[in-house]
Copies of this chain bind each other. A is one copy, B any other.
Amino acid sequence: MDDFLTLLVRAHKLLQAASDEAMSRHGVRIGQNLILEALWETDGLTPGEVASRARLPITTPTIVNTATRMEAAGLLTRRRDPKDGRLVRLYLTDRARAAQQPIRESRRQLAEHATATLTDEERAHLRTALLKIIQQLATDQAGPGER
C-alpha cells in the first residue's frame, strides 16, 4: 500500500463494489446508473444523447449494451423515433422511475459513510485534489487530438 495510483484504484474498487451492492438492493446494477440518471432527467433520449449527456464520459456501444440488459430487466423500453428512423428512444418504466429516490438516497448515504472519518476540511481537500488530477489528465486527452 504505497503510491497514490494504488490507493486510488483500491478506493475505487471498494466504492464500486459497495455501490453495486447498494443499488442491487433496488434491482439495479452499478453500470445502469448513468443511463438512469440521464433518463430521470430527460426521458426518451437516444443512446447517443445519453452518452453525451451522462455525468461521466461513456461510449454509445456501452449505452446500447447496458440498455439491452435494462430492457430485459424491465427498466426501460425502446421505441423507434417516428420522425427519424435512425433514432431509438429510451423510455423508463414505472419501476425505473420509482427507484429514483431510493437509489439517490442510497448513494448519498454511501458517499457519506465512505468519508465518515474525514473532517470537512479533508473532504474539501480531497475534492480539489481529485479535480486537479482530472483536469490534468483530461487536458492530455484533448491535447493530442490537436486543434
Contacts and interface: CB of A to CB of B under 8 A. Distances in A.
B3 A8 contact: no
Interface of A is mostly: helix
Interface string A15-53: 111110000000000000000000000000000000000
Contacts of A110: 5
The copy count of this chain in the complex is 2
Q: Which range contains the number of A residues in contact with the other chain?
A: 35 or more
A133 B3 contact: no
Interface in A2-19: 2-19
Contacts of A122: 125, 128-129, 132
Interface of A: 1-19, 55-57, 107-108, 110-111, 113-118, 122-123, 125-138, 140-141
